[in-house]
Amino acid sequence: MSLDEIAGEVLGAARERGTYRRMRVLDGAQSTRMRVDGREALLFAGSNALDLAHHPEVVEAAARAARDFGCAAGGSRLISGNLSIHEELEQDLAKFLGTETALAFNTGYMANVGVIPALAGDGDVVVSDALSHASIIDGCRLSRADVRVFPHGDLDALEAVLREVASTRRRVLLAVDGVYSMDGDVAPLPEMIALAKRWGAMLLLDDAHGTGTLGRTGRGSAEHCGVSEAVDMHLGTLGKALGSFGAFVAGSSALRELLVNAARSFIFSCALSPPQVAAAATALRLAQREPWRRTRLQDNARRLRSRLARLGHSTQPSTTHIVPVVVGDNARTMAACEGLLERGFYAQGIRHPSVPAGTARLRFTPMATHRTGEIDALADAVSEVLA
Protein backbone atom coordinates (compact mmCIF):
# COMPACT_ATOMS: atom_id res chain seq x y z
CA MET A 1 0.00 0.00 0.00
CA SER A 2 1.15 3.54 -0.66
CA LEU A 3 1.35 6.19 2.00
CA ASP A 4 -1.65 8.00 0.48
CA GLU A 5 -3.72 4.83 0.57
CA ILE A 6 -2.82 4.17 4.18
CA ALA A 7 -3.63 7.78 5.13
CA GLY A 8 -6.94 7.51 3.27
CA GLU A 9 -7.83 4.30 5.07
CA VAL A 10 -6.91 5.51 8.56
CA LEU A 11 -8.38 9.00 8.22
CA GLY A 12 -11.50 7.71 6.47
CA ALA A 13 -12.17 5.39 9.41
CA ALA A 14 -11.62 8.23 11.89
CA ARG A 15 -14.06 10.46 9.98
CA GLU A 16 -16.64 7.70 9.93
CA ARG A 17 -16.31 7.20 13.69
CA GLY A 18 -16.51 10.94 14.27
CA THR A 19 -13.06 10.97 15.86
CA TYR A 20 -11.11 12.81 13.16
CA ARG A 21 -8.76 15.27 14.86
CA ARG A 22 -7.40 18.60 13.79
CA MET A 23 -5.15 20.97 15.69
CA ARG A 24 -6.32 24.41 16.65
CA VAL A 25 -3.85 27.26 16.44
CA LEU A 26 -3.40 29.40 19.55
CA ASP A 27 -1.72 32.73 19.80
CA GLY A 28 -0.59 35.04 22.58
CA ALA A 29 0.94 34.66 26.03
CA GLN A 30 -0.03 31.47 27.86
CA SER A 31 -2.74 32.55 30.31
CA THR A 32 -6.52 32.73 30.82
CA ARG A 33 -7.14 34.70 27.63
CA MET A 34 -5.66 33.72 24.26
CA ARG A 35 -6.48 33.80 20.58
CA VAL A 36 -7.82 30.42 19.46
CA ASP A 37 -8.08 29.91 15.69
CA GLY A 38 -7.95 33.68 15.34
CA ARG A 39 -10.69 34.33 17.90
CA GLU A 40 -10.21 35.99 21.29
CA ALA A 41 -11.29 33.44 23.91
CA LEU A 42 -11.20 32.68 27.61
CA LEU A 43 -9.12 29.55 27.95
CA PHE A 44 -10.73 26.68 29.85
CA ALA A 45 -8.53 24.06 28.23
CA GLY A 46 -5.01 22.91 28.91
CA SER A 47 -2.93 22.28 31.98
CA ASN A 48 -1.43 25.63 32.99
CA ALA A 49 -3.62 25.43 36.09
CA LEU A 50 -1.67 27.76 38.37
CA ASP A 51 -1.07 30.27 35.54
CA LEU A 52 2.71 30.10 36.03
CA ALA A 53 3.81 29.51 32.42
CA HIS A 54 3.97 33.23 31.63
CA HIS A 55 4.72 34.49 35.14
CA PRO A 56 7.36 37.27 34.93
CA GLU A 57 9.72 35.46 37.34
CA VAL A 58 9.44 32.20 35.42
CA VAL A 59 10.03 33.95 32.10
CA GLU A 60 13.00 35.85 33.52
CA ALA A 61 14.54 32.65 34.94
CA ALA A 62 14.24 30.95 31.56
CA ALA A 63 15.76 33.93 29.74
CA ARG A 64 18.63 34.12 32.22
CA ALA A 65 19.33 30.40 31.89
CA ALA A 66 19.40 30.74 28.10
CA ARG A 67 21.92 33.57 28.40
CA ASP A 68 24.06 31.80 31.02
CA PHE A 69 23.95 28.20 29.77
CA GLY A 70 22.53 28.21 26.24
CA CYS A 71 19.35 26.78 24.76
CA ALA A 72 20.30 23.10 24.81
CA ALA A 73 21.71 20.76 27.42
CA GLY A 74 23.99 19.55 24.65
CA GLY A 75 23.58 15.86 25.21
CA SER A 76 21.93 13.08 27.16
CA ARG A 77 22.35 13.08 30.92
CA LEU A 78 24.83 10.16 30.80
CA ILE A 79 27.09 11.78 28.19
CA SER A 80 27.48 15.55 28.47
CA GLY A 81 24.00 16.84 29.28
CA ASN A 82 23.95 16.45 33.07
CA LEU A 83 24.22 20.08 34.16
CA SER A 84 24.40 21.29 37.74
CA ILE A 85 20.98 22.91 37.27
CA HIS A 86 19.43 19.49 36.55
CA GLU A 87 20.82 18.16 39.81
CA GLU A 88 19.61 21.26 41.69
CA LEU A 89 16.11 21.00 40.26
CA GLU A 90 15.99 17.34 41.24
CA GLN A 91 17.05 18.16 44.79
CA ASP A 92 14.33 20.81 44.97
CA LEU A 93 11.75 18.32 43.72
CA ALA A 94 12.86 15.67 46.22
CA LYS A 95 12.64 18.19 49.05
CA PHE A 96 9.20 19.30 47.86
CA LEU A 97 7.91 15.72 47.86
CA GLY A 98 9.77 14.60 50.97
CA THR A 99 11.69 11.86 49.15
CA GLU A 100 15.40 11.01 49.09
CA THR A 101 15.82 11.77 45.41
CA ALA A 102 14.14 12.74 42.17
CA LEU A 103 15.09 12.22 38.54
CA ALA A 104 13.93 14.40 35.66
CA PHE A 105 12.46 12.97 32.47
CA ASN A 106 11.68 14.86 29.28
CA THR A 107 7.92 14.37 29.55
CA GLY A 108 5.44 12.51 31.70
CA TYR A 109 4.82 10.26 28.74
CA MET A 110 8.51 9.40 28.56
CA ALA A 111 8.67 8.88 32.31
CA ASN A 112 5.96 6.23 32.20
CA VAL A 113 7.40 4.43 29.18
CA GLY A 114 10.78 4.50 30.94
CA VAL A 115 9.89 3.64 34.51
CA ILE A 116 7.44 0.79 33.95
CA PRO A 117 9.77 -1.31 31.74
CA ALA A 118 12.65 -0.55 34.14
CA LEU A 119 10.70 -2.18 36.96
CA ALA A 120 8.83 -4.99 35.27
CA GLY A 121 9.57 -7.27 32.34
CA ASP A 122 8.79 -10.63 30.87
CA GLY A 123 7.16 -12.83 33.52
CA ASP A 124 6.36 -9.92 35.85
CA VAL A 125 2.98 -8.27 36.32
CA VAL A 126 1.79 -4.69 36.00
CA VAL A 127 -1.62 -3.99 37.48
CA SER A 128 -3.48 -0.90 36.34
CA ASP A 129 -6.86 0.85 36.33
CA ALA A 130 -9.05 0.69 33.22
CA LEU A 131 -8.93 4.49 32.87
CA SER A 132 -5.15 4.80 33.18
CA HIS A 133 -3.42 7.47 31.11
CA ALA A 134 -2.22 6.39 27.65
CA SER A 135 1.40 6.69 28.76
CA ILE A 136 0.86 4.10 31.52
CA ILE A 137 -0.79 1.81 28.98
CA ASP A 138 2.11 2.26 26.55
CA GLY A 139 4.66 1.75 29.35
CA CYS A 140 2.91 -1.52 30.19
CA ARG A 141 3.03 -2.64 26.56
CA LEU A 142 6.71 -1.79 26.20
CA SER A 143 7.55 -3.67 29.40
CA ARG A 144 6.40 -7.05 28.00
CA ALA A 145 5.08 -7.83 31.47
CA ASP A 146 1.65 -9.40 31.92
CA VAL A 147 -0.79 -6.53 32.21
CA ARG A 148 -3.81 -6.94 34.45
CA VAL A 149 -6.44 -4.22 34.18
CA PHE A 150 -9.13 -3.79 36.84
CA PRO A 151 -12.39 -1.83 36.32
CA HIS A 152 -12.04 1.86 37.21
CA GLY A 153 -11.70 2.35 40.96
CA ASP A 154 -12.85 -1.21 41.75
CA LEU A 155 -10.89 -2.12 44.89
CA ASP A 156 -12.33 -5.64 45.17
CA ALA A 157 -11.21 -6.43 41.63
CA LEU A 158 -7.81 -4.90 42.38
CA GLU A 159 -7.40 -7.06 45.47
CA ALA A 160 -8.47 -10.19 43.59
CA VAL A 161 -5.72 -9.58 41.00
CA LEU A 162 -3.08 -8.76 43.61
CA ARG A 163 -3.98 -11.83 45.66
CA GLU A 164 -3.87 -14.06 42.62
CA VAL A 165 -0.41 -12.95 41.44
CA ALA A 166 1.19 -12.45 44.87
CA SER A 167 2.44 -15.99 45.37
CA THR A 168 3.48 -16.80 41.80
CA ARG A 169 5.18 -13.62 40.57
CA ARG A 170 8.39 -12.07 41.84
CA ARG A 171 7.73 -8.51 40.76
CA VAL A 172 4.31 -6.90 40.84
CA LEU A 173 3.88 -3.23 40.01
CA LEU A 174 0.68 -1.30 40.65
CA ALA A 175 0.69 1.76 38.36
CA VAL A 176 -2.13 4.25 38.92
CA ASP A 177 -3.11 7.83 38.17
CA GLY A 178 -3.61 10.13 41.17
CA VAL A 179 -6.10 12.34 39.33
CA TYR A 180 -7.88 10.85 36.33
CA SER A 181 -7.10 13.22 33.52
CA MET A 182 -10.43 13.04 31.67
CA ASP A 183 -12.77 12.61 34.67
CA GLY A 184 -11.17 14.67 37.42
CA ASP A 185 -11.71 12.11 40.19
CA VAL A 186 -8.98 11.17 42.66
CA ALA A 187 -7.90 7.54 43.01
CA PRO A 188 -8.75 5.84 46.34
CA LEU A 189 -5.08 5.95 47.30
CA PRO A 190 -5.24 4.94 50.99
CA GLU A 191 -7.07 1.73 50.07
CA MET A 192 -4.87 1.07 47.03
CA ILE A 193 -1.71 1.57 49.04
CA ALA A 194 -2.95 -0.73 51.81
CA LEU A 195 -3.69 -3.43 49.23
CA ALA A 196 -0.31 -2.97 47.54
CA LYS A 197 1.40 -3.34 50.92
CA ARG A 198 -0.67 -6.34 51.95
CA TRP A 199 0.08 -8.21 48.73
CA GLY A 200 3.68 -7.09 48.24
CA ALA A 201 3.24 -4.88 45.14
CA MET A 202 5.30 -1.76 44.33
CA LEU A 203 3.30 1.43 43.80
CA LEU A 204 3.91 3.92 41.00
CA LEU A 205 1.72 6.99 41.41
CA ASP A 206 1.34 9.05 38.23
CA ASP A 207 0.32 12.39 39.70
CA ALA A 208 0.61 14.49 36.56
CA HIS A 209 -2.48 16.56 37.41
CA GLY A 210 -2.18 16.47 41.20
CA THR A 211 1.34 17.90 41.40
CA GLY A 212 1.14 21.51 42.58
CA THR A 213 -2.65 21.56 42.61
CA LEU A 214 -3.74 19.22 45.43
CA GLY A 215 -2.82 18.69 49.07
CA ARG A 216 -2.11 21.14 51.87
CA THR A 217 1.30 22.09 50.45
CA GLY A 218 0.65 21.16 46.81
CA ARG A 219 2.48 17.85 46.91
CA GLY A 220 -0.43 16.28 45.12
CA SER A 221 -3.03 13.56 45.43
CA ALA A 222 -1.07 11.48 47.97
CA GLU A 223 -0.85 14.46 50.30
CA HIS A 224 -4.54 15.20 49.62
CA CYS A 225 -5.32 11.63 50.76
CA GLY A 226 -2.90 11.77 53.73
CA VAL A 227 -0.59 9.05 52.39
CA SER A 228 2.45 10.97 51.04
CA GLU A 229 4.90 8.84 53.00
CA ALA A 230 3.54 5.55 51.70
CA VAL A 231 4.10 6.09 47.96
CA ASP A 232 7.15 4.26 46.54
CA MET A 233 7.37 6.31 43.35
CA HIS A 234 5.84 9.73 42.66
CA LEU A 235 5.68 10.69 39.02
CA GLY A 236 4.88 14.32 38.29
CA THR A 237 5.04 16.63 35.30
CA LEU A 238 6.75 19.98 34.99
CA GLY A 239 4.67 20.87 31.94
CA LYS A 240 1.30 21.21 33.64
CA ALA A 241 0.80 23.14 36.90
CA LEU A 242 4.54 23.78 37.08
CA GLY A 243 4.42 25.97 33.99
CA SER A 244 7.44 24.60 32.11
CA PHE A 245 8.15 21.32 30.35
CA GLY A 246 9.37 17.90 31.43
CA ALA A 247 8.61 15.49 34.24
CA PHE A 248 10.16 13.72 37.18
CA VAL A 249 10.06 10.60 39.29
CA ALA A 250 10.69 11.06 43.02
CA GLY A 251 11.55 8.26 45.44
CA SER A 252 14.46 6.49 47.07
CA SER A 253 18.13 6.67 46.09
CA ALA A 254 17.89 3.06 44.90
CA LEU A 255 15.04 4.02 42.58
CA ARG A 256 17.02 6.90 41.07
CA GLU A 257 20.06 4.69 40.47
CA LEU A 258 17.90 2.00 38.95
CA LEU A 259 16.29 4.48 36.54
CA VAL A 260 19.60 6.06 35.53
CA ASN A 261 20.79 2.58 34.61
CA ALA A 262 17.67 1.01 33.19
CA ALA A 263 15.08 3.57 31.98
CA ARG A 264 15.65 3.73 28.25
CA SER A 265 13.64 6.92 27.70
CA PHE A 266 15.99 8.57 30.21
CA ILE A 267 19.22 7.10 28.84
CA PHE A 268 18.66 7.53 25.11
CA SER A 269 17.34 11.08 24.93
CA CYS A 270 18.77 14.57 25.15
CA ALA A 271 18.43 16.20 28.57
CA LEU A 272 15.93 19.01 29.32
CA SER A 273 17.21 22.37 28.11
CA PRO A 274 18.45 24.99 30.62
CA PRO A 275 15.51 27.38 30.07
CA GLN A 276 13.05 24.55 30.77
CA VAL A 277 14.91 23.52 33.90
CA ALA A 278 15.18 27.08 35.24
CA ALA A 279 11.53 27.80 34.48
CA ALA A 280 10.46 24.64 36.33
CA ALA A 281 12.64 25.41 39.37
CA THR A 282 11.26 28.94 39.61
CA ALA A 283 7.66 27.83 39.11
CA LEU A 284 8.13 25.22 41.85
CA ARG A 285 9.26 27.94 44.25
CA LEU A 286 6.34 30.18 43.25
CA ALA A 287 3.83 27.37 43.70
CA GLN A 288 5.12 26.90 47.25
CA ARG A 289 5.42 30.61 48.05
CA GLU A 290 1.96 31.45 46.71
CA PRO A 291 -0.47 28.86 48.09
CA TRP A 292 -3.34 31.18 47.06
CA ARG A 293 -2.93 29.83 43.52
CA ARG A 294 -3.83 26.32 44.65
CA THR A 295 -6.68 27.56 46.83
CA ARG A 296 -8.14 29.78 44.10
CA LEU A 297 -7.82 26.99 41.56
CA GLN A 298 -9.85 24.61 43.72
CA ASP A 299 -12.35 27.39 44.59
CA ASN A 300 -12.84 28.11 40.90
CA ALA A 301 -13.28 24.43 40.09
CA ARG A 302 -15.79 24.02 42.93
CA ARG A 303 -17.71 27.07 41.75
CA LEU A 304 -17.81 25.78 38.18
CA ARG A 305 -19.00 22.34 39.27
CA SER A 306 -21.75 23.75 41.45
CA ARG A 307 -22.91 26.34 38.84
CA LEU A 308 -23.09 23.62 36.20
CA ALA A 309 -24.95 21.29 38.57
CA ARG A 310 -27.46 24.03 39.34
CA LEU A 311 -28.02 24.42 35.59
CA GLY A 312 -28.65 20.68 35.31
CA HIS A 313 -25.27 19.53 33.99
CA SER A 314 -23.56 16.76 35.90
CA THR A 315 -19.79 16.97 36.32
CA GLN A 316 -19.58 13.57 38.03
CA PRO A 317 -17.25 12.13 39.17
CA SER A 318 -14.97 15.20 39.31
CA THR A 319 -13.72 16.52 42.63
CA THR A 320 -10.76 18.48 41.19
CA HIS A 321 -9.90 21.21 38.68
CA ILE A 322 -10.60 18.84 35.80
CA VAL A 323 -14.30 19.31 35.20
CA PRO A 324 -15.99 17.16 32.54
CA VAL A 325 -19.52 17.40 31.22
CA VAL A 326 -20.24 14.14 29.43
CA VAL A 327 -22.34 14.72 26.30
CA GLY A 328 -22.04 11.21 24.84
CA ASP A 329 -22.35 11.76 21.12
CA ASN A 330 -19.19 12.80 19.20
CA ALA A 331 -20.85 15.21 16.76
CA ARG A 332 -22.94 16.91 19.46
CA THR A 333 -19.85 17.34 21.63
CA MET A 334 -17.86 18.96 18.86
CA ALA A 335 -20.78 21.22 17.91
CA ALA A 336 -21.02 22.35 21.54
CA CYS A 337 -17.28 23.02 21.51
CA GLU A 338 -17.67 25.26 18.43
CA GLY A 339 -20.68 26.97 20.00
CA LEU A 340 -18.61 27.82 23.06
CA LEU A 341 -15.80 29.20 20.95
CA GLU A 342 -18.28 31.45 19.12
CA ARG A 343 -19.31 32.74 22.54
CA GLY A 344 -15.67 33.40 23.50
CA PHE A 345 -14.85 30.30 25.57
CA TYR A 346 -12.43 27.60 24.62
CA ALA A 347 -12.71 24.08 26.06
CA GLN A 348 -11.82 21.13 23.86
CA GLY A 349 -14.29 18.36 23.16
CA ILE A 350 -12.76 14.99 24.05
CA ARG A 351 -13.63 11.81 22.16
CA HIS A 352 -12.56 8.19 21.87
CA PRO A 353 -9.80 6.98 22.23
CA SER A 354 -8.98 9.61 24.87
CA VAL A 355 -12.17 8.51 26.64
CA PRO A 356 -14.31 5.36 26.25
CA ALA A 357 -16.52 5.37 23.12
CA GLY A 358 -19.96 6.89 23.77
CA THR A 359 -18.68 9.16 26.56
CA ALA A 360 -17.51 12.14 24.48
CA ARG A 361 -17.37 15.21 26.68
CA LEU A 362 -16.52 18.83 27.13
CA ARG A 363 -13.58 19.03 29.49
CA PHE A 364 -13.14 22.27 31.40
CA THR A 365 -9.95 23.13 33.21
CA PRO A 366 -10.39 26.40 35.10
CA MET A 367 -7.24 28.18 36.23
CA ALA A 368 -6.22 29.83 39.50
CA THR A 369 -6.54 33.28 37.92
CA HIS A 370 -9.97 33.08 36.31
CA ARG A 371 -12.31 35.58 37.90
CA THR A 372 -15.53 34.30 39.43
CA GLY A 373 -17.54 36.26 36.84
CA GLU A 374 -15.69 34.39 34.09
CA ILE A 375 -16.49 31.04 35.70
CA ASP A 376 -20.17 31.97 35.95
CA ALA A 377 -20.26 33.20 32.35
CA LEU A 378 -18.76 29.91 31.19
CA ALA A 379 -21.39 27.88 33.05
CA ASP A 380 -24.17 29.95 31.43
CA ALA A 381 -22.62 29.52 27.98
CA VAL A 382 -22.35 25.74 28.47
CA SER A 383 -26.01 25.62 29.35
CA GLU A 384 -26.86 27.56 26.16
CA VAL A 385 -24.87 25.38 23.80
CA LEU A 386 -26.19 22.16 25.33
CA ALA A 387 -29.82 23.32 25.39
Ligand X SMILES: *Cc1c(COP(=O)(O)O)cnc(C)c1O
| Catalytic positions | 181, 209, 240
Judged by CB under 6 A, which stretch of 73-81, 167-175, 205-213, 356-364 contacts ligand X?
205-213
Q: Cβ 136 to ligand X, closest distance in Å?
A: 7
Q: Binding-site residue total for ligand X (CB under 6 A)?
A: 13
What binding mask, one character per residue, do residues 181-200 give for ligand X by CB under 6 A, x or -? x-------------------
Separation of alpha carbons 208 and 221, rounded Å: 10
User: Does 247 help bind ligand X (rule: CB under 6 A)?
Assistant: yes
**H helix and E strand count, the chain:** 14, 14
Half-sphere exposure of 198 (CA within 13 A, CB side): 13
Q: Cβ 335 to ligand X, closest distance in Å?
A: 26
Among 206, 223, 232, 374, binds ligand X (CB under 6 A): 206
Q: Which is nearer to ligand X, 244 or 300 (CB)?
A: 244
Secondary structure of residue 362 in the 3-state scheme: strand
**Contact, 30 vs 54, CB < 8 A?**
yes
Among 48, 50, 62, 108, binds ligand X (CB under 6 A): 108
Give the residue from 133, 165, 129 showing the smallest Cα distance to 146: 165
Judged by CB under 6 A, which stretch of 86-94, 105-113, 186-194, 332-340 contacts ligand X?
105-113
Q: Give the residues across from 103 on adjacent strands.
A: 249
Q: Cβ 163 to ligand X, closest distance in Å?
A: 26
Residue 149 backbone dihedrals phi, psi, to 5 degrees: -105, 130
> Footprint of ligand X on residues 270-329 (CB under 6 A)?
none
Single-letter residue type at 91: Q
User: Does 177 help bind ligand X (rule: CB under 6 A)?
Assistant: yes
Judged by CB under 6 A, which stretch of 68-76, 104-112, 194-202, 376-384 contacts ligand X?
104-112
Residue 78 makes CB contacts below 8 A (sequence gap 6+) with 260, 267
Q: Cβ 133 to ligand X, closest distance in Å?
A: 4
**Contact, 250 vs 21, CB < 8 A?**
no
Extended beta strands in 264-359, E state: 323-328, 345-346, 349-350
Single-letter residue type at 173: L
Q: Which is nearer to ligand X, 115 or 378 (CB)?
A: 115
Q: Cβ 317 to ligand X, closest distance in Å?
A: 16
User: Does 208 help bind ligand X (rule: CB under 6 A)?
Assistant: yes
Q: Cβ 182 to ligand X, closest distance in Å?
A: 9
**Contact, 126 vs 120, CB < 8 A?**
yes
> Footprint of ligand X on residues 128-147 (CB under 6 A)?
133, 135
DSSP string, 149-174: EE-TT-HHHHHHHHHHHHTT-S-EEE
**Contact, 307 vs 104, CB < 8 A?**
no
The residue with its CB nearest to ligand X is 108
Q: Give the residues across from 176 on adjacent strands.
A: 205
User: Does 219 help bind ligand X (rule: CB under 6 A)?
Assistant: no
User: Does 114 help bind ligand X (rule: CB under 6 A)?
Assistant: no
Q: Which is nearer to ligand X, 181 or 379 (CB)?
A: 181
User: Does 266 help bind ligand X (rule: CB under 6 A)?
Assistant: no
Single-letter residue type at 176: V
Residue 15 makes CB contacts below 8 A (sequence gap 6+) with none
User: Does 359 help bind ligand X (rule: CB under 6 A)?
Assistant: no
Q: Which residues bind ligand X (CB under 6 A)?
A: 107-109, 133, 135, 177, 181, 206, 208-209, 237, 239, 247
